[in-house]
Chain A
């Protein structure tokens, strides 16, 4: 388990992280969500032992990453840029990783390269941006590390490669005993794969949610009325959007009073809509958390 306990960090006189605390359980995907500058990358850099916290501590399997750096054999940090790898060839980097990570699976690595039609003798810097992103993921998952930290893995990529990468991550998690921490400012990407979401706002944990229970707690309803949209509904319920006589409302699943308010005004349309993570964050955690 990764434990982040009361971590605080100030950089350039700005408090980037403030008393951040959460755990990452084995075999789960944790999404770290926040706007640009919320402290996501700093947090990942700390967990991977690059930056030391001013206060608090970070442990992996009970070991402090700064005092026991060997524990980082079980952590691979995949930054949002592959610049660090650009001087290596595909073959050189595998030789290097085999020495660093004792569980590196070379056969698996080359099979993935075949699967995605990579040139196995080429230089990494010659790859396209999307290929580099996918390649760094292949490299990371081939280490068989217990924890993989992905910093904005799909940032700046086109829709097709983005989909391919997200699918790749999902497949890897399904087949391997690995935990992932994935930072993103895109809630829609995370909700499809994350088990656990940590929302960072201005360097603090604004909220933490378990996806399994979250969607069962709420429902999203579209309603339309014959006359004007009722003020009662607008004032007493979470209205996600409203246009004339039609509105979309978010309700707690067991909110009978809310249900009664909607029904009181005899809606001409009452339809339950698929619920997205974004809806919940916008309604329950404030509009300014809208990060996609």
Chain B
């Protein structure tokens, strides 16, 4: 299934980005842990009361992906781009497709390599941080860590985001569109409700999207799984099942994707009408939201409405022009 040649090929082109991901994870967990030790010692010596209240939060925050954890998300998306999209940008796509391997083998090798890099990087960093604390004078604090949630939920988040980025890679025709579409569609379920909600609110209808669709904002917003504030409210099976669904879809689509459109915005011409409508439509809603939110708080509804439509029309014009260029190249 995983031919040595395919491993060699993928590793050659993804070594650097894989290293980048490992560094991001190490910064997020290991370096972060070592950096906190001195702060904790300071609290212990000079602010013992504060330390008593804060120590549980402090130790748990080590095992929550911080700023570098978000950087790691970016690198995961970039890595998916390197694994699929970058090849389509270049003649390497023809070179790969002419090799004596099935498309399924090719995709699974790419997917497994990326996933292995995520798993190794994450586990190495997480457990090194754990070990560092265990070896320090703060080892008793580990009893305060909800290890199940702290370990599994962020891992599930990285898994679903990676699988989703790979899935988008099978639809998009090159790395730029892959990364852009991944970022857009990662927040699309929430974004579309916010945009539609603002449309209704500006037009005098009461629409509270968060109340109506709380599960979309909670369970399907994958970044929540990286934030220990939400850990107790989340179900790990949602990202796991979603990740598996994206993976299966990606395998099927990669096998069927027509190579003649590699290098273009999308691999499938049949998706053009959907994007030709969807991009300007969503952009118009976004333009409307942005401009209407600039209206003074005490202004009339009419001004908000005028600003909304002005923003919508400006965004519609530019997005229509850009979409035409993107889809007709």
Chain A residues engaging chain B, CB cutoff 8 angstroms: 9, 11-12, 42, 45, 48-52, 69-73, 75-77, 79, 81, 83-85, 87-88, 92, 95-96, 99-101
A-contacting 9-mer, from B2-10, B204-212, B301-309: B2-10
| Distance from A150 Cβ to chain B, minimum over Cβ atoms (Å) | 13
| A99 near B258: Cβ-Cβ < 8 Å | no
| Distance from A132 Cβ to chain B, minimum over Cβ atoms (Å) | 12
**Cross-chain pairs A/B with CB under 8 angstroms, 23 sampled:** A9-B260, A11-B260, A49-B98, A50-B97, A50-B98, A51-B260, A52-B258, A69-B103, A75-B100, A79-B94, A83-B91, A83-B92, A84-B90, A84-B92, A84-B94, A85-B95, A87-B13, A96-B8, A99-B4, A99-B8, A100-B99, A100-B100, A101-B100
Compute the total of residue contacts between A and B using a CB distance below 8 Å.
65
| Distance from A69 Cβ to chain B, minimum over Cβ atoms (Å) | 5
Q: How far is the CA of A100 from the CA of B100 in the complex (A)?
A: 7
| B12 near A72: Cβ-Cβ < 8 Å | no
| A96 near B9: Cβ-Cβ < 8 Å | yes
| Per-residue interface assignment for chain B, residues 213 to 249, with 1 indicating a CB less than 8 Å from any chain A CB and 0 otherwise | 0000000000000000000000000000000000000
| Distance from A42 Cβ to chain B, minimum over Cβ atoms (Å) | 8
Chain B residues engaging chain A, CB cutoff 8 angstroms: 3-5, 8-9, 12-13, 90-92, 94-95, 97-103, 258-261, 269
Residues of A within 8 A of B260 (CB): 9, 11, 42, 45, 51
Q: A72-B100, A99-B4, A100-B100 are in contact. Are A84 and B91 (CB under 8 A)?
A: yes
17 more A-B contacts (CB under 8 A) besides A50-B259, A69-B101?
A45-B260, A48-B97, A51-B258, A52-B258, A72-B98, A75-B98, A77-B98, A81-B91, A84-B91, A84-B94, A87-B12, A87-B13, A88-B12, A96-B5, A99-B5, A100-B100, A101-B100
Q: How far is the CA of A70 from the CA of B98 in the complex (A)?
A: 11
Q: Which of the listed residues A84, A95, A96 has the most CB atoms from chain B within 10 Å of its own CB?
A: A84
| A84 near B95: Cβ-Cβ < 8 Å | yes
Q: How far is the CA of A50 from the CA of B96 in the complex (A)?
A: 8
| B100 near A69: Cβ-Cβ < 8 Å | yes
| Distance from B328 Cβ to chain A, minimum over Cβ atoms (Å) | 10
Q: How far is the CA of A228 from the CA of B99 in the complex (A)?
A: 62
Pick the 3 closest A-B CB pairs, nearest first.
Answer: A84-B95, A72-B100, A83-B91
The closest CB in chain B to the CB of A76 belongs to B98
| Distance from A51 Cβ to chain B, minimum over Cβ atoms (Å) | 5
Residues of A within 8 A of B5 (CB): 96, 99-100
